[in-house]
Amino acid sequence: MKLYDFAMAPNARRVRMFAAEKGIELETVSIDLSKREQMNDGYRAINPRLAVPALVLDDGTLITESVAICRYLDALAPEPALFGTDAKDQAIVEMWHRRVELEGMQAVADGVRNSVEFFAGRGLPGAVDFPQIPALAERGKQRVDLFFAMLNERLADSEYIAGDNFTIADIAALIGCDFAKVIKKRISEEQSHLHRWYAAVRARPSASA
Ligand SMILES: N[C@@H](CCC(=O)N[C@@H](CS)C(=O)NCC(=O)O)C(=O)O
């Protein structure tokens, strides 16, 4: 199988980090988003959604959506259990992962895509061009502050975001925190619980994948 990837793309990093935690080595093909290579006819034929990551299996099956790719890798290599263990734990991991995606990653994406010059005319990824909406960027930035505050509170009494174990929720949150630096949003010194968690998760070898 082949992963269509780009080093700086947060959603692609999600998959690389997940695979590294599982000990899975993926053959990768870089699609340089900074040169808009995702728009080229060659890539369009591989993934008409014009985004990374995209996983193409040996039988030609295309899997897009970073979390769907992670689900596939998880089924290939169930250990360590990054989507939770028993019924209750899986639901708790899903709950936190969804919150991180909707309250964190989406907020950062709104902030970045609607304010950074490179994304002018490209307010959303995909085949259709959308203009930037400055008010959405402002709302995104405000929501990032709330996201950091929410995580700091949660991490005051939990080692990792979904409980005692490192999970996909931590991967998504780390990537959200790092992506937020693009819009100059950084964890503040006073957010000691979030700081503690960030240092621990950032130090994992998979964080550099
Ligand atoms: N929901 C998709 C989002 C994929 C996505 O937005 N990928 C970005 C990179 S992180 C992309 O390819 N952007 C291309 C563009 O902006 O045209 C996923 O989780 O995989």
Q: Which CATH number goes with the domain that contains 148?
A: 1.20.1050.10
9-18: average pLDDT: 98
Burial 179-199 (b: 16+ CB within 10 A, else e): bbeebebebeeebebbeebbe
In a shared domain, residues 115 and 51:
no
121-147: average pLDDT: 97
Q: Which residue minimizes the CA distance to atom 2 of ligand 1?
A: 65
In a shared domain, residues 122 and 28:
no
Number of domains in the chain: 2
Q: In the chain, pLDDT over 90 holds for what percent of residues? A: 99
Of the three residues 45, 76, 107, the one that is the final residue of a domain is: 76
In a shared domain, residues 19 and 52:
yes
Q: Kindly report the CATH number assigned to the domain that includes residue 18.
A: 3.40.30.10
Separation CA 137–CA 209 (nearest Å): 29
The answer to whether residue 84 scores a pLDDT higher than 90 is: yes
In a shared domain, residues 71 and 114:
no
The pTM is what?
0.97
172 C-beta closer than 6 A to ligand 1? no
Has residue 100 been placed in a domain? yes
Q: Identify which of 13, 33, 62, 119 to mutate to test ligand 1's pocket (most ligand atoms within 8 A of the CB).
A: 33
In a shared domain, residues 93 and 70:
no
Distance 192 CA to ligand 1 centre (A): 31
Q: Which residue minimizes the CA distance to atom 16 of ligand 1?
A: 125
What pLDDT score does 111 carry? Answer: 98
123 C-beta closer than 6 A to ligand 1? no
In a shared domain, residues 142 and 197:
yes
What pLDDT score does 19 carry? Answer: 98
What pLDDT score does 125 carry? Answer: 97
Write out the residue range of the structural domain in which residue 92 sits: 87-208
Q: How confident is the model at residue 129 (pLDDT cuts 50, 70, 90)?
A: very high
31 C-beta closer than 6 A to ligand 1? no
Q: Identify which of 18, 39, 62, 66 to mutate to test ligand 1's pocket (most ligand atoms within 8 A of the CB).
A: 66
Name all contacts of 120-128 with Cβ < 8 Å and 24+ positions apart.
Answer: 125/50, 125/51, 126/49, 126/50, 126/51, 127/48, 127/49, 127/50
47 C-beta closer than 6 A to ligand 1? no
Has residue 81 been placed in a domain? no
